[in-house]
A and B are shown apart, each in its own frame.
Chain A
């Protein structure tokens, strides 16, 4: 089982729609969860971080975390063509383990927002 799993897509949504990106993780003790956006040929840039169960909103972006289900998602409202990119889910493990500080990434979901 992959440590962090994402649907690789591509996910295609029309402009103005809500894009929903999902991520599951295997380490039940994981503590911190991040969503990065990576444009083609560029480095990842942080969009959202979330540490506790529930929703966290920042502008058009909402991160949702459910630790019981080991599931984290990212919703993008009013999607724009400029949102077209690969979205990477990243997780830090249980701080009591030997991999403390290690950020494990999913393979990313390609999002395409078409006009």
Chain B
């Protein structure tokens, strides 16, 4: 596989469920990102990891928990979400954390019931 991949592509979960989103990049990049895209709102940066270290948490509620075991993999663990958390969750990567081009994965479309 090439580029940035995300699984699952679609997810429906109840408010009491626990689920995880997975992102993998095959570009040899060192920085990875989670974004949230809601209808009619700009893309919102959630988390930034650089060389596996979290460098930014953009005031994200604790019901979203990121994990970055290595520079190629990024997870977003979800628990006790709210219906307003329904959105497209996008993973991206770049060579380094800086003014670098970010490449996006296909996203996970999440629906919280």
Chain A contact residues, CB within 8 Å of chain B: 4, 31-32, 34, 36, 42-46, 49, 51, 88, 90, 92, 95, 99-108
Query: Are the CB atoms of A44 and B43 closer together than 8 Å?
Result: yes
Cβ–Cβ < 8 Å partners of A92 in chain B: 98-99
The residue from B40, B56, B101, B106 contacting A49, defined by CB atoms under 8 A apart: B101
Query: Are the CB atoms of B42 and A102 closer together than 8 Å?
Result: no
Interchain CA distance A44-B41 in the complex, whole Å: 14
Interchain CA distance A99-B42 in the complex, whole Å: 17
Q: A100-B97, A100-B98 are in contact. Are A45 and B45 (CB under 8 A)?
A: no
- A-B CB contacts (within 8 Å), total count: 58
Q: Is the interface of B mostly helix, strand, loop or mixed?
A: loop
| Residue B51 lies at the interface, judged by CB distance under 8 Å to chain A | no
Interchain CA distance A41-B89 in the complex, whole Å: 12
Listed by A's residue number, 13 A-B pairs whose Cβ atoms lie within 8 Å are A32-B99, A43-B90, A44-B104, A51-B99, A88-B42, A100-B98, A101-B31, A101-B50, A101-B56, A101-B99, A103-B45, A103-B102, A107-B42
How many Å from the CB of B103 to the closest CB on chain A? 7
Query: Are the CB atoms of B101 and A43 closer together than 8 Å?
Result: no
